[in-house]
Amino acid sequence: MKMESPIKRRKSRQIYIGKVAVGGDAPISVQSMTNTNTCDVEATVAQIRRLEAACADIVRVSVPSMEAAEAFRQIRAQVNVPLVADIHFDHKIALKVAEYGVDCLRINPGNIGREDRVRAVIDAAKDKNIPIRIGVNAGSLEKDLQRKYGEPTPEALVESAMRHIDILDRLDFQDYKLSVKASDVFMAVAAYRLIASQIEQPLHLGITEAGGLRGGTVKSSVGLGMLLMDGIGDTIRISLAADPVEEVKVGYEILKSLKLRSKGINFIACPSCSRQNFDVIGTMNELESRLEDVTTPLDVAVIGCIVNGPGEAKEADIGLTGGTPNNLVYVNGQKDHKVQNPELVDHLENLIREKIALKEQQDKDLIARA
């Protein structure tokens, strides 16, 4: 039996980052951030294209200078994915990228300074329908809040967020999303839980500076897992000291594991042991890398022997159970045919691709009939 996700999502106001809806009943979006020099247009466009190919819904780009804003203009013209410009302090940069077609401004109103400058940014955002992301981070908490709380705490993060929110409220601007990030899992989770009950805007989740690929993935999965289980979270970014494409892959894996999104192949594979009748790990590595381009959801079970093989294979779209002299392939939960070890990977790849093509055709027929 397969269980449905029991998660009931928090009802949030919906905003649009370009064509991507965030909040409300929109799928939880996965975003990442470029780590190239924004002024190197060619390298940044290439990285954004790799992120698009990995199915990033939204990409954030740092725009730290006017020179970078000019580069942003060229970058914008060459990619399709919605772009968020990450700006600190300088309202002139925000106005420039708004003019050049940014899809979201990541800027904290309280950091802009003079009232007329804040108003100018908000007027431009209103005029061009550009939402704002308020991003509060435990590592850059205001000095007076650090003094008041002694150290970053969930309450301090929320108080900081509320200052920025108050400014937007005063200017009657509600199209924003918010993050209250910390590298400490408990602090981030507590801060998000606190703020989730106080505002209706969508929440951008992340465990900031989570670490390298392995540690950061685990930390992010644990932190975001707790929040997502509470129904909190409308868009996510996994912060890894790694290739940004990995952030997108990990983001999807987290959402897939909670059945909040489906994308590509959901592999069910055993860890293997001396009972394995084929090289489970080698087969999995090969299949994962060969099938990285697949975006249509499909459950594939790769199990080394009959201990758990038939049970898992019956629940999958395609299942493989190791056996001697032949391995058994299940299709749609039914025993279908046998295959020998030397042909295993090629055979499974072809079978999966045929099944995907069939599924895609069926989906198209359904849409055409609707």
- Count Cα neighbours of 21 within 13 Å in the Cβ-side half-sphere: 8
Comparing CB distances to ligand SF4, the nearer of 160 and 327 is 327
Comparing CB distances to ligand SF4, the nearer of 275 and 338 is 275
For residue 172, the SS3 value is coil
Report, in Å, the least distance between residue 283 CB and ligand SF4. Answer: 12
Comparing CB distances to ligand SF4, the nearer of 155 and 279 is 279
For the chain, give the longest Cα–Cα distance: 77
Q: What are 105's two structure tokens?
A: 């401004």
Q: What are 268's two structure tokens?
A: 């069910």
Comparing CB distances to ligand SF4, the nearer of 233 and 309 is 309
Q: Name the closest residue to ligand SF4 (Cβ).
A: 304
Residue whose structure tokens are 């801060």: 191
Comparing CB distances to ligand SF4, the nearer of 240 and 270 is 270
Report, in Å, the least distance between residue 218 CB and ligand SF4. Answer: 22
- Strand order through the sheet with 176-181: 176-181, 132-137, 104-106, 83-86, 58-62, 29-33, 235-237, 204-205
Report, in Å, the least distance between residue 270 CB and ligand SF4. Answer: 3
Comparing CB distances to ligand SF4, the nearer of 176 and 278 is 278
Whether 104 has a binding-site annotation, put simply, is no
On the question of a cis peptide bond just before residue 325, with omega within 30 degrees of 0, the verdict is yes
Report, in Å, the least distance between residue 320 CB and ligand SF4. Answer: 11
Partnered with residue 298 across adjacent β-strands are: 265
Report, in Å, the least distance between residue 318 CB and ligand SF4. Answer: 17
User: Which spans of this chain sit near ligand SF4 (rule: CB under 6 A)?
Assistant: 270-273, 275-276, 303-305, 307-308
The CB density around residue 273, as the number of other CB atoms within 10 Å, is: 10
Whether 39 has a binding-site annotation, put simply, is no
Torsion of CA 248, 253, 256, 257, to 10 degrees: -150
Report, in Å, the least distance between residue 319 CB and ligand SF4. Answer: 12
Contact 232, 203 (CB under 8 A): yes
The CB density around residue 190, as the number of other CB atoms within 10 Å, is: 19
Whether 305 has a binding-site annotation, put simply, is yes
Q: What are 210's two structure tokens?
A: 């989570």
Whether 292 has a binding-site annotation, put simply, is no
Q: From the annotation, which residues make up the binding site?
A: 270, 273, 305, 312
Q: From the annotation, which residues make up the binding site for [4Fe-4S] cluster?
A: 270, 273, 305, 312
